Homo-oligomer: A and B are copies of this chain.
Amino acid sequence: MERHFDEELKELHKEILKMGALAQESIYKSIEALKNRDKAGAQEVIDTDTRIDELELLIDEQCIDLIARYQPVAFDLRFITTGMKLNAELERIADLAVDICQRVLELVDKPLLKPLIDIPKLSTIAQKMVHDSIDSFIKKDMDLAKKVVLSDSEADQLRNLVQEELVNDYMARDTSTATRAVPLFLIARHLERICDHATNIAEDVIYMVEGKVVKHHHQDLE
């Protein structure tokens, strides 16, 4: 019985890693589509989302099934319930990549507003945070999880910069920019929400490993 449980747990790891890889790929491709004004690329991310949705349901089932059949307690139980949360966060991250692609489709036929300000930089941070948050779960690595939580304020600041620049330097100066500035404004928000989801994952990992609540108490980490 023990042996099987461990094997099935490893199977669960693998599925979660796959889910994480798909979510990261969606973020990357959504920003590539934005940079290259690539309609087909944006559409591809939107179409792939069905696969990610299906994988989410599969992982959720796997988790409930593991609990029902093996009735794990203590750390094992918490590991699986944390896996369920992480799974839901990853599905939402992929949804946000779809949101970005929908903005790309709105923008693609309009003249470029200007180079994309700090959006590519924000996207790099988002991808790293997602990667590290999943890694911290699989490796039960507290330090890495804490690093993710602390990166979130950098992402917030960058989003604010992008937003302020778009509102003050474009929308508030030239009305003709509104329909092009608004989608970029939203893309910055979508990326920052991806960072929030990665932070949620990392907070759950810290709680899982340490039993310490950092959710809503980031100052305790610094």
Interface of A (DSSP majority class): helix
User: Which of B175, B185, B216 meets A174, CB within 8 Å?
Assistant: B175
Chain A 207-222, CB within 8 Å of chain B: the 1/0 string?
0000001011000000
User: Is A57 interfacial (CB-CB < 8 Å)?
Assistant: yes
Q: Can you tell how many copies of this chain the complex includes?
A: 2
Which residues of the other chain, B, contact A174 by a CB distance below 8 angstroms? 175
Which residues of the other chain, B, contact A142 by a CB distance below 8 angstroms? none
Q: Are A182 and B185 in touch, CB under 8 angstroms?
A: yes
Cβ < 8 Å to B, chain A residues 56-114? 57, 63-64, 67-68, 71, 73-74, 77-78, 81, 84-85, 88
User: Which of B77, B84, B175 meets A172, CB within 8 Å?
Assistant: B175
User: Is A36 interfacial (CB-CB < 8 Å)?
Assistant: no
User: Which of B53, B71, B172, B213 meets A215, CB within 8 Å?
Assistant: B53
User: Which of B85, B175, B178 meets A88, CB within 8 Å?
Assistant: B85
Q: Are A68 and B64 in touch, CB under 8 angstroms?
A: no
Q: Are B68 and A73 in touch, CB under 8 angstroms?
A: yes
User: Which of B63, B71, B74, B88 meets A71, CB within 8 Å?
Assistant: B71
Which residues of the other chain, B, contact A121 by a CB distance below 8 angstroms? none
Roughly how many angstroms separate A57 CA and B85 CA in the complex, as a whole number?
13
User: Is A179 interfacial (CB-CB < 8 Å)?
Assistant: yes
Q: Are B68 and A213 in touch, CB under 8 angstroms?
A: no
Roughly how many angstroms separate A98 CA and B88 CA in the complex, as a whole number?
22
Considering the complex of A and B, which 10 residue pairs feature the smallest CB-CB distances, nearest first?
A171-B178, A172-B178, A53-B216, A71-B71, A68-B73, A172-B175, A175-B175, A167-B178, A68-B77, A171-B171
**11 A-B interface contacts by CB (under 8 A):** A53-B216, A63-B81, A67-B67, A68-B74, A85-B88, A167-B179, A167-B182, A171-B175, A171-B182, A172-B175, A182-B185
Chain A residues proximal to chain B, CB less than 8 Å: 50, 53, 57, 63-64, 67-68, 71, 73-74, 77-78, 81, 84-85, 88, 167, 171-176, 178-179, 182, 185, 213, 215-216
